Amino acid sequence: DIQMTQSPSSLSASVGDRVTITCRASQSISSYLNWYQQKPGKAPKLLIYAASSLQSGVPSRFSGSGSGTDFTLTISSLQPEDFATYYCQQSYSTLPFTFGPGTKVDIK
C-alpha cells in the first residue's frame, strides 16, 4: 500500500496568515494527489485535485503544487472559515486510495 504522511499534524495561525501544509507519499504517485477540507461534524470537501487543479467553487486563495512524492497545499491568506482539518489523498492506480492523517488548522 502507498503510505501518506502530512506535516505538521496541527498548526495555529491567525487570519491573514499564509499557511502551508505538506504531504508525502511513500512512492511516486505522479500528480494523483487530492486535498480535502473537513469541518467538525461535516463531510470532507474536495479542494484540489490532480495536485494543482482547483475544484469548482473553491476560493483562489487555496493552491496546490508538487508531483512524484512531495506535495504542498497553500492557503495564501487564511480566512475565519478556513479553520478546519485538511487531508491529502492519493488516487494513483494502486488501491487502496489512502489518505494522509490530517492537519488541523486552528486559531492562534
Partner 1 sequence: EVQLVESGGGLVQPGGSLRLSCAASGFTVSSNYMSWVRQAPGKGLEWVSVIYSGGSTYYADSVKGRFTISRDNSKNTLYLQMNSLRAEDTAVYYCARDGDSMPAFDIWGQGTMVTVSS
In the complex, which residues of this chain contact partner 1 (CB under 8 A)? Answer: 32, 34, 36, 38, 43-46, 49-50, 53, 55, 87, 89, 91, 95-102
Smallest gap from residue 86 Cβ to partner 1 (A): 11
Burial of 52 (0-12, 13-18, 19+ CB in 10 A): middle
Residue 42 CA to residue 39 CA, distance in Å, equals 5
And the C-alpha cell for 46? 474536495
**Residue 43 or 108 having the CB closest to partner 1:** 43
Smallest gap from residue 23 Cβ to partner 1 (A): 13
